[in-house]
A and B are shown apart, each in its own frame.
Chain A
Amino acid sequence: MSDEQKQIYADFEAEAIPHMDSLYNFALRMTGDTDDANDLIQETYLKSFRFFDKFEKGTNCKAWMFRIMKNTYINSYRKQVKEPDKVDYEEIENFYENIKSSWTDTSHLEKDLYDNLLDDEISEAVNSLPEDFRTVILLCDIEGFSYEEIADFVDCPIGTVRSRLHRARKILFTKLYKYAEGKGYLSARR
């Protein structure tokens, strides 16, 4: 093995391998299937390694690998996934405004939701979002990407990213609120 090849391997080890869990979770949430996620992450790593000489050193390797995963997902995995039902955003807005008018003290609401909702219930709510909304939520709130990086990833303007995030969080909030209400997690103190 030449010194150059050894260096590529060492750089890949240092730059790409640490993002494995993030990519794995993204793969799981996008495909909704363990086997597909297992295949998708392996394919992503193999492609990333093959094209690692194209990666511009000093730029964001994690974002670069997420883009490779996205393209692989779109080409080979997306068609196999059943898209969640479309969301009626106007209905969400109306429901949200009702919640807003019924709470005067939000501190109880925050505590009730944060303390009572289980991790799996939140994950399930995120996974049930339509793909466009789910993608921006995962990239922003879980992976911590900037709007610019997300815009680059989803190939749309930053303003669209912001608007999509706003809507996605509102949809999620109303979903979680309805769920918590149904489970009796919300106290009467409003």
Chain B
Amino acid sequence: MENKKNIKELITAYLDNELKSQEELNDFMREIEKDPSFEFDLKTEALTKKLINKKAVNRVTPDKIKRNIREKISREQIIRVRKNPLISKIYSPKFISYSTVGIIILALLLLLINRPKQTLNNISEQTGNNNMLVLAQSYFKNFLNGDNKIQFTSDNPEEIKNFFQDKGVKYVTFVPTYNNYSLAGALVSEHHGEKFAHHIYTAKNGKIIYIFQVHENYFQGDSIIQLSEDLLNYLRNGNKYISRQSNFVTVLRKQNDNVLAFISNSTDKELPDNF
């Protein structure tokens, strides 16, 4: 009985081309010829294998998924390059010897250990056309003037995230919800060839919250968007940077890998605490 079971399993191996040696094959053939009842087992198992192989439905990956995969990979590629612009060169032995790398690391460590403690008061002024704070406030003003318009209307955070992805934003976005404010929609801006995510909330009293978010890697290497290093460190330590103008307030903070700029024309003094 046990032998019969073994032979039946050898049928499986035979059909899968897994009887590797001629000796194994010859032994198997001899057993099969001895007992004609194995013919049924051989034929039904071969048929089952053929049915699965030839007739089980195989689907083609949907185009949207193929596109998403390629986008995610190229995004990952960009993040890698931005994250390690120096490292990728250092890895090449042509450039710098190991000892030089060691010195650089040591210098960076010393800089890190001896850096002054950062507080909100001594953060340098944010200036320049590529500065995120400057850009965020400019986008906000343009939105209020009607120069920047909502490109996609939805009150669903997931749909907004998908919109960002479909429009070429190469980072994972954060779309929260707020009491008394409804999600109105989103827009994507282009800056030096890269796409950036913006979305807007409105309240019944006409006040708005505008969020502009940028992946942290955009601040590294040959940065397209900038923030002063002291401010970036301040945010990386989990702090919020609040800047009040006469008619609006701007809050910068980090959320996962993104730096978010929240801007609102609300007079609610507590609103920044909710960002």
Q: Scan B32-51; emit 1 where CB is below 8 A from any A CB, else 0.
A: 00000101110111011111
Size category of the binding interface on chain B: 35 or more
Is B189 an interface position by the 8 A CB rule?
no
In the bound complex, CA of A5 to CA of B44 (Å): 51
Do A100 and B61 touch (CB < 8 A)? Answer: no
Whether, in the assembled complex, A166 has its beta carbon less than 8 Å from a beta carbon of chain B, the answer is: yes
The one of A2, A24, A28 in contact with B89, judged by C-beta atoms closer than 8 angstroms, is A2
Interface size on A, residues (CB 8 A): 48
Name the one of B18, B68, B69 contacting A162, with C-beta atoms under 8 angstroms.
Answer: B18
Contact A20 B66 (CB under 8 A): yes
**Chain A residue nearest in CB terms to B40:** A100
Contact partner of A42 (CB less than 8 A), chosen from B45, B47, B65, is B65
From DSSP, what is the main secondary structure of chain B's interface residues?
helix
Q: How far is the CA of A176 from the CA of B16 in the complex (A)?
A: 21
Rounded to whole angstroms, the CA-CA distance of A36 and B42 in the bound complex is: 37
With both beta carbons as reference points, the residue of chain B lying nearest to A38 in the complex is identified as B65
Give chain A's interface secondary structure class: helix
**Is B141 interfacial (CB-CB < 8 Å)?**
no
A120 surroundings in chain B (CB, below 8 A)? 57
Within 8 Å of chain B (Cβ to Cβ): is A95?
A: no
B161 at the interface (CB under 8 A from A): no
| B233 contacts partner chain A, Cβ-Cβ < 8 Å | no
Q: Mark A23-58, 1 if CB is under 8 A from B, else 0.
A: 011001000000000100110011001100000000
**Which chain B residues have a beta carbon within 8 Å of chain A's beta carbons?**
8-9, 11-13, 16, 18, 37, 39-41, 43-45, 47-53, 55-62, 65-66, 68-69, 72-73, 76-77, 80-81, 88-89, 91-92
Q: A113-B47, A172-B48 are in contact. List 12 more A-B contacts (CB 8 A).
A: A4-B88, A5-B81, A41-B65, A42-B72, A45-B72, A100-B44, A106-B40, A106-B43, A122-B57, A123-B57, A162-B12, A173-B44
